[in-house]
Amino acid sequence: MNVEVTPLPGIGVRKDFEVSARRRIGVVTHREGGLDLILSRSDDPDACMASIPLTAEEASTLSNLLGAPQLVEQLRDEHRDLPGLTTRQISVPEDSPFDGRAMGDTQIRTRTGASIVAVMRAGEIHPSPRPDFTIIGADLLIVVGTAEGIAAAAKILHRG
């Protein structure tokens, strides 16, 4: 995929690419730190059809939403020949009893047999998190295990 980077004098930088729907989608990163999600016509990238300002938290959440499914699909492909094994993303709610606590406090592996193989946070992947990794609300956990084990892990994260 070809990402075009365009300096916007006095404003910041636009980064965008063409999608199959014959539109351009991207972001404008402002010099003072703001961020806009933009949608433009493919034949005229300067003709912005929509611009949505995002806070840092909103941009992080959108990044997680876009990145986690790709990771989950890749892991599913790798486990396709292993019957009974599945991969799913679990969102940590803001009011989780484990918000701000170490992952080891959940005892998910011991209690369910499921394993947390990665954490998506603010658009970054944290692979193979250690038991001392701090979980925060809005994290997306990539969990591998049986369907039952993953369902139990989600209940633990939501209710304790």
Phi and psi torsions of 47, nearest 5°: -90, 85
Q: 154: Cβ–Cβ under 8 A, 6 or more apart, which residues?
A: 90
Q: Which tokens sit at 78?
A: 């790798």
Q: Which tokens sit at 72?
A: 């989950």
| Calpha distance 128→142 (Å, rounded) | 10
Model pLDDT for residues 79-126, shown as the tens digit of each residue? 677 788 888 889 999 899 999 999 999 999 999 999 999 998 877 888
The pLDDT value given to residue 76: 67
The pLDDT value given to residue 68: 62
Model pLDDT for residues 7-56, shown as the tens digit of each residue? 899 999 998 989 988 899 999 999 888 899 999 988 887 888 999 999 88
The band of 67, judged by pLDDT with boundaries at 50, 70 and 90, is low
